[in-house]
């Protein structure tokens, strides 16, 4: 839609949400929680356009830290069930659920699978952590909306979209669910707790949260 972030060059601009560009960062955070894990599982949707980049980033990150990566792909419910079975069969030690809209619509099922199989898992959206997922790391969506709203105001006041660089997220949320950690029998390292933006101490959307 644009020629580049700095110079859109067309009648479009805005804020790009880089949730699918930080899979390697998520793998690193998960490794800090389960440093002894040698085989990580990853769930990807092959029909999601950024999937090839997500896979490349995860494979590169895993190789850089000397870990193996088993990838399960799903774009519908039948494939999701097959992915669960494959991840269980491979005995992965931890799970990265890649950023993807389809997975978001199956959030409850994915969290339940991870919990039932005692799999430490990381997700891209804070909603997962508040619904019972162990940890999440991703862009602060309200901040991105605020940036988009500011641009809308500037354009309504006469600015040309092709003169406004495409902005990128400036805030990221790192959320830890300590209730889930207890259920999984995992002790969260103190340095991770200190870095967390929020620590959710109860499962469910009504759970109490501490902003750190």
CA distance to 92, 160, 175, per residue, from 127 (Å): 24, 35, 9
In the β-sheet with 135-139, what is the strand arrangement from edge to edge? 68-73, 39-44, 94-97, 121-123, 135-139, 172-177, 198-200, 209-211
Query: What tens-digit pLDDT sequence spans the chain (212 residues)?
Result: 888 888 898 888 988 876 667 899 999 999 999 999 999 999 999 999 999 999 999 999 999 999 999 999 999 999 999 999 999 999 999 999 999 999 999 999 999 999 999 999 999 999 999 999 999 999 888 888 888 899 999 999 999 998 999 988 888 899 999 999 999 999 999 999 999 988 877 544 444 444 44
Q: Length of the chain, please?
A: 212
CA separation, residue 115 to residues 9, 155, 165, 171, 180 (Å): 47, 47, 42, 28, 8
Q: Could you give the CA distance from residue 167 to residue 6 in angstroms, rounded to a whole number?
A: 8
The radius of gyration of the chain from alpha carbons, rounded to an integer in Å, stands at 18
In this prediction the pTM is 0.84
Domain 19-140+173-202 belongs to what topology? Rossmann fold (3.40.50)
Q: 179: closest CA among 195, 200, 198?
A: 200
Comparing CA positions, the residue from 207, 201, 197, 206 lying closest to residue 181 is 201
Domain ranges of the chain: 19-140+173-202
The reported pLDDT for the residue numbered 170 is 81
- Secondary structure of residue 80 in the 3-state scheme: helix
CA distance 79 to 212: 38
Q: Hey, is 68 helix, strand or coil? A: strand
Angle 139-71-115 (CA atoms, 0-180°, nearest 5)? 70
């Amino acid at each position: 839609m644009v020629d580049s972030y700095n110079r859109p060059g067309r009648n479009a601009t805005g804020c790009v949400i880089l949730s699918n560009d930080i899979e390697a960062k998520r793998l690193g955070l998960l490794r800090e929680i389960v440093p002894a894990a040698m085989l990580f599982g990853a769930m990807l949707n092959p029909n999601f356009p950024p999937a090839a980049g997500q896979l490349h980033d995860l494979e590169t990150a895993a190789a850089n830290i000397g870990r193996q990566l088993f990838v399960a792909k799903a774009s519908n419910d039948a494939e999701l069930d097959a992915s669960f079975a494959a991840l269980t069969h491979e005995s992965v030690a931890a799970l990265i659920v890649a950023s993807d809209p389809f997975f978001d619509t199956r959030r409850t099922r994915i969290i339940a699978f991870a919990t039932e199989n005692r799999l430490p898992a990381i997700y891209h959206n804070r909603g997962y952590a508040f619904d019972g997922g162990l940890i999440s790391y991703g862009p602060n969506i309200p901040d991105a909306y605020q940036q988009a709203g500011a641009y809308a105001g500037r354009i309504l006041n006469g600015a040309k979209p092709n003169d406004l660089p495409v902005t990128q997220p400036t805030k990221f949320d790192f959320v830890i669910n300590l209730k889930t950690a207890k259920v999984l029998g995992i002790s969260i390292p103190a340095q991770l707790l200190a870095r967390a933006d929020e620590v959710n101490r109860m499962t469910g959307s009504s759970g109490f949260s501490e902003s750190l």
